Structure 1
Amino acid sequence: MSEPLSDIRLVVAISSRALFDLAESHRVFENQGIEAYHAYQVAHEGDVLEPGVAFVLVKKLLALNERLGERGQVDVILLSRNSSDTGLRVFNSIHHYGLDIARAAFTSGESPYRYVSAFGAHLFLSVDPSDVRQALMAGCAAATIWASPPFANTRNDEQLRIAFDGDAVLFSDESERIFRRDGLAAFNANEVAAAREPLSDGPFKGFLLALQRIQSIFPAEESPLRTALITARGAPSHERVIRTLRAWDIRIDEALFLSGLGKGRFLKAFDADIFFDDQETHCQDASTLVATGHVPLGVANPSPGPERAEMAKCFRV
């Protein structure tokens, strides 16, 4: 009951609509209002919800605890706009599937983003873009999970595979801004000139570091986690990325420099369980093949001036 949050190695917060398929009850809410929604959820609280887009990811995250034992722990936190009353159906479904989720926040319609930091979460996943943006503004790694078809897992093991874009995800968007303003030649010239200058932190650096701490417990060939950087960068802009990761003392298991090629087929080849990218076009390509988290941050995601400036400041070193 009194386990300190600081002892937990990896904390992931997830919304109920990302964990389970709540499309039907959400339609009741949108078409008939909160009272009809409340009545519907109470009437169906014994009906088990179908898995949502992030369900497999959560199962694999929780399965890491069997491998970690006393050496560390992965904690998944449920954050929901439901009330505790309407959220009972969600907890009943969690129990049905045997998911070891004990912590939750039910906010009765308010955005739950403010509890991301309170729980010490390294990552927040939601289907609500506004909640994700607020979490990013608060300095937390966050992504909007895009609805997608069920995916066939071609692997027979429980290894969790996570893929990241680079600019505006692991790194800041400082170089991406040069590319959009001045073009590819100027971008490459800047990256060559700054090859030995590490890129500034992006929103997902902390999450990647938390994954790295788990990986460090295991020999590389026995790790239950595998990571990949899948970026549109190519030579000669690759060197700055490699040197940045080296300066951060972060190991990336696989790095794909695609020089503008589409990412979808490479994500499928990597067998990613989830992919994070800041650009909607890349997310659209990927989401037909793997679970995808859109990171609405940086120059590729314009927002009102003050909000955009505050979001950018959250991850600058």
Structure 2
Amino acid sequence: MAYDLSGMLVIGISSRALFDLEHENAIYDTEGVTAYSDYQRQHENDPLEPGTAFPLVKALLRLNTLIPDRRLVEVVVISRNSPDTGLRAFNAIEAHKLDISRAAFTGGEPIVHYLEAFKIDLFLSRDKSDVQAAIDGGVAAAQLYTAPTNYVAPENQIRIAFDGDAVLFSRESEQIYAEKGLEAFVRHEQRHRNKAMKEGPLAKLLFALAEIQKQFTPETCPVRIAIVTARNSPAHKRVIHTLRTWNVTVDEAFFLGGLPKADVLHAFGAHMFFDDQEGHVELASAVVPSGRVPYEGGALGVRNVRKSPKASPAAVADSDASLETSKH
């Protein structure tokens, strides 16, 4: 009988998002594919340290141990590595005792074609172009930044934080702010406070997490969700109404009115924070694992016209493009 992924949260992840492969990435960038491949083979039994998404993946996989005979999460490694050089990633998965058994190694070919084949709900990568291709193809995705130094993940709980506009919700309201300013934005949100916003690129991830929460009692639920948004009163009302319309209850919400998000995210202890603005993600990534959700066209959104602050070098660096073993 074929394995059925329906009813599960399916996470696709690149090798470099799961493990720290910065040294290997530098070899690829400076010496090329052959040197990189030789290095991976020579060191395929050497341990790999956790990457940005490792704490989140480990916590999500732990959910599969909480309900007898019920698997809630599946994680699939999706990489541009060849099967040969990809062996090191699976050796590291085994060494870290991660319950991951499925992978796609495309040998340098684009990975976007395989996301739908594996029923991916969320794709995490360090590669900007792969993430954008996923978004353009209608798959929720985030480009991960370098993990913060000395980050300690919460134990026995999964904590995920979302920005609101252009991540959970459509860019309609944010675009009004970008084009017409704060006063026009506030007037628009007041007029539409009882009208639910349309879904943004990670809305379906929120729905999937909410379904997982329903498998537990409020007292025992291991998944905790927060919204951390620059909105404040009275624009917060539309957020609450939208969540009610979606039949989703978040555990915590922070309406910051322009205050920095990093301190709140640090206090919340997020396993992952998702935002669409480079500047916000850059600051947040100093305290918690963070990913940028590009909103620049494609099936999940319209073009982002607002200019973002300069991105960090880590944010712009390619990821599994550095793991390619061919350039077909």
Indicate the TM-score class for this superposition, using the shorter chain for normalisation.
Answer: over 0.9
Q: Which runs of 4+ in 1 moved over 3 A?
A: none
After superposition, the C-alpha distances for 1:68-103 in whole angstroms (9 at most, x for unaligned) are: 332442101101110000000111111011011011
SS at match of 2:301: helix
Residue matched to 2:287 = 289
Tell me, which stretches of 5 or more residues in structure 1 are unaligned? Answer: 299-307
Corresponding position: 1:2 with 2:2:
yes
Residue matched to 1:13 = 12
CA drift at 1:313: 6.0
Conserved? CA contact 2:12–2:78, under 8 Å: yes
Conserved? CA contact 2:125–2:131, under 8 Å: yes
The number of equivalent residue pairs is: 303
- The equivalent position to 2:172 in structure 1, one of 174, 183, 190, is 174
Residue matched to 2:66 = 67
CA drift at 1:152: 3.6
SS at match of 1:161: strand
Deviates more, 1:146-155 or 1:39-48: 146-155
Conserved? CA contact 1:164–1:170, under 8 Å: yes
Residue matched to 1:186 = 184
Residue matched to 1:305 = none
Structure 1 residues 143-162: aligned runs within 5 Å: 143-153=142-152, 155=154, 157-162=155-160
* TM-score normalised over the length of structure 2: 0.89
SS at match of 1:144: strand
CA drift at 1:311: 4.8
Separation in 1, partners of 2:141, 2:80: 17
* TM-score normalised over the length of structure 1: 0.92
After superposition, the C-alpha distances for 1:156-190 in whole angstroms (9 at most, x for unaligned) are: x3200000000000001100010011111100000
Conserved? CA contact 1:48–1:96, under 8 Å: yes
Residue matched to 1:301 = none
Residue matched to 1:312 = 301
Bigger RCO of structures 1 and 2 (CA < 8 A, at least 6 apart): 2
Residue matched to 2:82 = 83
**For the structure 1 residues 16 and 309, does the alpha-carbon distance in structure 2 shift closer, same or farther, using more than 3 Å as the test?**
closer
SS at match of 2:98: coil
**For the structure 1 residues 309 and 218, does the alpha-carbon distance in structure 2 shift closer, same or farther, using more than 3 Å as the test?**
closer
After superposition, the C-alpha distances for 1:106-137 in whole angstroms (9 at most, x for unaligned) are: 01112212222211111100000100000001
- The equivalent position to 1:207 in structure 2, one of 193, 196, 205, is 205
Residue matched to 2:266 = 268
Conserved? CA contact 1:151–1:290, under 8 Å: no
Structure 1 residues 54-133: aligned runs within 5 Å: 54-133=53-132
Separation in 2, partners of 1:169, 1:265: 20
Separation in 2, partners of 1:233, 1:117: 34
CA drift at 1:211: 0.5
Q: Among the aligned pairs, what percent are the same residue?
A: 49
Q: Which has the higher helix share?
A: 1
Separation in 2, partners of 1:140, 1:68: 28
Separation in 2, partners of 1:69, 1:260: 44
Corresponding position: 1:48 with 2:37:
no
Residue matched to 2:275 = 277
After superposition, the C-alpha distances for 1:36-70 in whole angstroms (9 at most, x for unaligned) are: 11111111111111111111111101111111332
Matched residue type, 1:225: V
Separation in 2, partners of 1:154, 1:41: 29
**For the structure 1 residues 212 and 154, does the alpha-carbon distance in structure 2 shift closer, same or farther, using more than 3 Å as the test?**
closer
SS at match of 1:226: strand
Residue matched to 2:309 = none
Separation in 2, partners of 1:46, 1:271: 33
Separation in 1, partners of 2:12, 2:265: 24
Matched residue type, 1:278: D
Conserved? CA contact 2:170–2:198, under 8 Å: yes
Separation in 2, partners of 1:39, 1:153: 34
Separation in 2, partners of 1:263, 1:68: 34
CA drift at 1:312: 2.0
- Structural RMSD (CA): 1.5
**For the structure 1 residues 278 and 154, does the alpha-carbon distance in structure 2 shift closer, same or farther, using more than 3 Å as the test?**
closer
Residue matched to 1:303 = none
SS at match of 2:69: helix
**For the structure 1 residues 64 and 265, does the alpha-carbon distance in structure 2 shift closer, same or farther, using more than 3 Å as the test?**
same
Separation in 2, partners of 1:3, 1:212: 24
Matched residue type, 2:225: T
Conserved? CA contact 2:51–2:147, under 8 Å: no
